Amino acid sequence: MSTPPKVLLVTSELFPAFGYPTAGGGVRAQQLHDYLKSLGFQIDLALARSSAEGRNLPDWATRFLYRVEYLDGLIEQADPDLVLTEGWEPLTHLRFDDQRLYAADCPGPLLLEARAGDRDDHRTLLFHKLRALARADAVLYSNAPMRFYLGGFLALAGWKPDQFDSLVEAPIALGPNPPARKAPGSGEFQIFVGGVSWAWHDSSSWVLRLADALEERGIGRILLYQGKHPNHPEAPGVFEPLDPRLLSHPRVQASPLVNWDALVETLRATPLAIEWSPTHFEREVASTLRLVTCLWCGVPVIVRPHLAIAKEIQDAKAGWVLEDWESVVDLIDDLSRNPSEVEERSVAARRLALQKHAWPNAHPSLGDLLASLARREKEPSLLQHATDTFREQEEELHRLRIEHKAMVEDLSALRERTRLAETDAESFRALRQKLPYRIWKRILG
């Protein structure tokens, strides 16, 4: 590998290591940070000031706290060779161009999330995304559907076909040392359900349905760890409120989001997890870090076939891929009485995670790419083309306004001359009617 560049990792998400509840973006950012550091990269963290306020964070994490309006200046202060952003959004806040390298990590389909969450700013997000991708010299993606999802945006952002080598796979991956399994602390068969309660996941309905089915059969307990994003502003349609019936359900043990260590401690003693989110395009493209975390902790998972990770799980026998709901309930009933099958799938789950979703195996070429990254020759994006077109149209309208004004002035002058001529003609006609004029005309013959 070439001499690693000095890297500034820009994120608004808290690292799990800080001891606070976090979301997928924070886990992703920390894993990129730790992996690059293990490769010998000198890497600094630029954390959003709003995320750090009121929290006790280590000194190295607060060295470069940024406000979006001053991000250019903070990057100048940190003076990295390469700026790596968790998500593309930080790039939209940059106002000045420079000679640094920029790479954007894009693990999930934010615009599809905006549409699924019925956000009214999705059109604005589209233009911001094109502007950000036009600035990037490299883009990281997490799975095959995300590559194709991003490809169209990159083309609109001005990327040429021969530049797509800088669209680099970086699967969702955790550390190389997963926790050891431990025996469940409860005699009941436990099923984990967790993550941020995004509204488009529609979790409450199927979790309640599952809880009722378990109660009817007298088996199992659902460990429900859900809540709102720790740093995401609350807005209508973004988060799903927890159905109050789940809080009092005899088959549900509900908890808000917990910190990483507490989550891992729960998962290492949990025999099974399930993700039954509805079928729609965002879920087909999205990276499911919550499922990777379960696999990494040795928890086999039940998933639906539309999830991007479903084929990996099926091929590795790291869980079960089902579509029929009745099959799910029957399977859980069988597994609750067959711990040996659960154990076999648990071993396979951990093996899959280590092979495909733990560094360095998941990122064999990422370090080399970032170490040898060069500035991309940039062409105007669709956004820039639209801006130039609007500017040309504005200039043409300005020219036409000037011409129109001159024509109006010429027409006004012509009307004035016509009026004067008509006045002179009228005066001459009046003169002809007078007696001296008639006498003068008669004398002159």
In a domain, 99, yes or no: yes
199 shares its domain with 159 = no
16 shares its domain with 162 = yes
Find the angle CA(262)-CA(266)-CA(271) to the nearest 5 degrees.
Answer: 160
Tokens 């951990």 belong to residue: 350
Asked if the bond preceding 278 is cis, omega within 30° of 0, the reply is no
370 shares its domain with 392 = no
The pLDDT assigned to 386 comes to 65
Q: Are 287 and 170 in contact (CB under 8 A)?
A: no
151 shares its domain with 30 = yes
Q: Are 198 and 117 in contact (CB under 8 A)?
A: yes
277 shares its domain with 416 = no
In a domain, 179, yes or no: no
Rounded Cα distance between 98 and 153, Å, is: 23
Q: Are 345 and 300 in contact (CB under 8 A)?
A: yes
202 shares its domain with 348 = yes
Q: Which distant-in-sequence residues (6+ apart) come within 8 Å of 314 by Cβ?
A: 321
Q: Which distant-in-sequence residues (6+ apart) come within 8 Å of 111 by Cβ?
A: 122, 125, 126, 129
pLDDT in tens, 185-223: 778 899 999 988 888 888 999 999 999 999 999 999 999
In a domain, 375, yes or no: yes
In a domain, 370, yes or no: yes
239 shares its domain with 371 = no
The pLDDT assigned to 421 comes to 82
324 shares its domain with 224 = yes
The pLDDT assigned to 142 comes to 94
* Local structure of 237: helix, strand or coil: coil
334 shares its domain with 436 = no
Q: Which distant-in-sequence residues (6+ apart) come within 8 Å of 350 by Cβ?
A: 178, 295, 296, 297, 298
Rounded Cα distance between 221 and 380, Å, is: 56
Does residue 52 surpass a pLDDT of 70?
A: yes
259 shares its domain with 332 = yes
In a domain, 294, yes or no: yes
In a domain, 180, yes or no: no
109 shares its domain with 92 = yes
pTM: 0.84
In a domain, 185, yes or no: no
* Domains held by the chain: number: 3
103 shares its domain with 133 = yes
Rounded Cα distance between 314 and 302, Å, is: 10
pLDDT in tens, 90-99: 999 998 888 8
The pLDDT assigned to 350 comes to 98
pLDDT in tens, 347-374: 999 999 999 999 999 998 899 999 999 9
State the DSSP code for 65: E
Q: 50: which 2 tokens? A: 């709003």
Asked if the bond preceding 233 is cis, omega within 30° of 0, the reply is no
Q: What is the CATH number of the domain that holds 26?
A: 3.40.50.2000
Domain containing 431: what range? 386-443
In a domain, 1, yes or no: no
